[in-house]
Structure 1
């Protein structure tokens, strides 16, 4: 009777064994860590704790991979008692528990980068059991290098805009302005744009003056900057315009004077260069008056040497200290005032003159 009952239970036991799922032998402990957001440069801990069943008799394998749209990129492995971490995150990733085979396959990634963003999968396998768990990691960059400045005239009655922007940081970045002088409340006429960081203040008055701070933030961090607003009465625009015109005219005058001096200097250099290279024919020097005077005086002295003392009366009056003029060098035709010196007949004979008879002429020109 008992043997017949056992034979009846065997088919039922076999069906139960065949219908059981081997993957339920290895079980990863449930966790609410499915989405994680971290800042660049920080570290993250991805949890993967599991339990094994007595039916799992194969070798234990723990594998972390980054799931790509069309492939998987290995992060770290544990197999047959050894850890393999020489992949694209080498030096930045490791198991939290030095002995992950005891049921803790949690890993830690250091110095996160924006490229580390992705879906990570933990797979625990000990045949015939297999189980997996996935977590979405997002690495963001904190806002940094935030700058504040003022746009527009800081005069009473004008519209002034305080601008704030972060040069680095992952979107979405929001901006918020607060007044740090006297009160945290912004002026009543101000309009804030949290997306662009612009704070518009219409019809500004002196009570708007003070220090303002802008805080930029995203999901992983904040940054800030400050600016000082000083609302002043309107300035004398007429005087400013007149001063600008006078300054411009003076500048143009100085520029024109400088150009004139340069042009003049250039012309002088050009003239000197032309004169230096110009070859001219030498003009003969004028006749020397001193030589004429010396020849004249010498001739007179030779004449005087042949004269007797009785004939020296006429020449004694001659002033030899005077230099003869150019009249002596001209012919009688060229110099109508020229009169040759008078010499007595006896003196002419001593000088070797030959007497010549000149026929007389009548009034009508006939020879007598």
Structure 2
């Protein structure tokens, strides 16, 4: 009995170390999904919370081909092989020393052929692995913004945005980037077709708008400037309109009074002058002057030698 107890005490530290070693080596999470644009670089993350000794190793495989993807690295970091030729020169371990907890890889200039499932395996009695899927997609192209309809006060218009290249799902969004930076209250945006309809536009709706198209692997945008409607009434205040109206009425009233007074005065003084003539410039025509016979009194005076009589 005592011999058994002594043997258990001697073996217990080794058993505990083995259990801790099995529990300590973990890769989280177990599975991931990655999306990348054609021609870009992507990093597949595979991190574990332990270090590898000379007996451990890291290996990457791909399915459904189950081919060797990256060089096998032992604990001493020795490069053994690189048998997956399509990935040769484009895949590398992200960390300088993968045996210290980071077995992530970076693949450069990805193409459609790189879309597959990858398995990261970390071997250290027992081995653990992480499964992840990479999908390489064509990013959206530069969209084209356009206006359908005449942007004028009270009209209905439609703003269009279209990206001719890119893989679904594509999502379109519109934003106003000038003025109050708020979309019109009656704007209706179609996030699938890329259109924005605005009914009964007003002056506040003018300005710059931006359309952004997004996919799982990127985004692009275009801009459209809508000029303010040329509506003079919209720029006049009520006070200005009232002032102009009163001025016009006063001018008409003054002209009427002057004309009426002139006619009245002309009729009252018929035969003396005409309102159309300028006073003091030329005498009125003779036909307007009444001819009256006036008898001038005779002037008599006596001189010393003779009597002179003058009469008109």
Q: TM-score range by the shorter chain?
A: 0.5 to 0.7
Q: Secondary structure at the match of 1:63?
A: strand
Superposed, 1:75-224 pairs within 5 Å as 75-79=69-73, 81-87=78-84, 88-101=86-99, 104-125=102-123, 129-205=126-202, 207-224=204-221
Q: Which structure: larger Rg?
A: 1
Q: Quote the Cα distance in structure 2 between the aligned partners of 1:200 and 1:44.
A: 41
User: How many residues align structurally?
Assistant: 221
Q: Give the one of 24, 27, 30 matched to 2:22.
A: 24
Q: Would the alpha carbon gap of residues 93 and 26 (structure 1) be closer, same or farther in structure 2, given more than 3 Å must change?
A: farther
Q: Quote the Cα distance in structure 1 between the aligned partners of 2:176 and 2:6.
A: 87
Whether the aligned pair in 2 keeps the contact of 1:66 and 1:119 (CA below 8 Å) is yes
Q: Secondary structure at the match of 2:169?
A: coil
TM-score, normalised to structure 1, is 0.48
Q: Would the alpha carbon gap of residues 118 and 232 (structure 1) be closer, same or farther in structure 2, given more than 3 Å must change?
A: farther
Q: Would the alpha carbon gap of residues 205 and 96 (structure 1) be closer, same or farther in structure 2, given more than 3 Å must change?
A: closer
As a proportion of its length, which structure holds more helix? 1
Q: Quote the Cα distance in structure 2 between the aligned partners of 1:151 and 1:74.
A: 55
* Cα RMSD for the two superposed structures: 4.0
Whether the aligned pair in 2 keeps the contact of 1:26 and 1:131 (CA below 8 Å) is no
Whether the aligned pair in 2 keeps the contact of 1:25 and 1:129 (CA below 8 Å) is no
Q: Quote the Cα distance in structure 1 between the aligned partners of 2:4 and 2:70.
A: 55
Gap runs ≥5 in structure 1: 234-368
Shift of 1:135: 2.7
C-alpha distance after superposition, 1:288-331 (max 9, x if no partner): xxxxxxxxxxxxxxxxxxxxxxxxxxxxxxxxxxxxxxxxxxxx
Q: Would the alpha carbon gap of residues 85 and 165 (structure 1) be closer, same or farther in structure 2, given more than 3 Å must change?
A: farther
Gap runs ≥5 in structure 2: 232-312
Q: Quote the Cα distance in structure 2 between the aligned partners of 1:4 and 1:64.
A: 45
TM-score, normalised to structure 2, is 0.55
Q: Quote the Cα distance in structure 1 between the aligned partners of 2:207 and 2:24.
A: 65
Q: Secondary structure at the match of 2:184?
A: coil
Q: Would the alpha carbon gap of residues 130 and 210 (structure 1) be closer, same or farther in structure 2, given more than 3 Å must change?
A: closer
Whether the aligned pair in 2 keeps the contact of 1:148 and 1:214 (CA below 8 Å) is yes
Q: Quote the Cα distance in structure 1 between the aligned partners of 2:195 and 2:146.
A: 10
Whether the aligned pair in 1 keeps the contact of 2:206 and 2:226 (CA below 8 Å) is yes
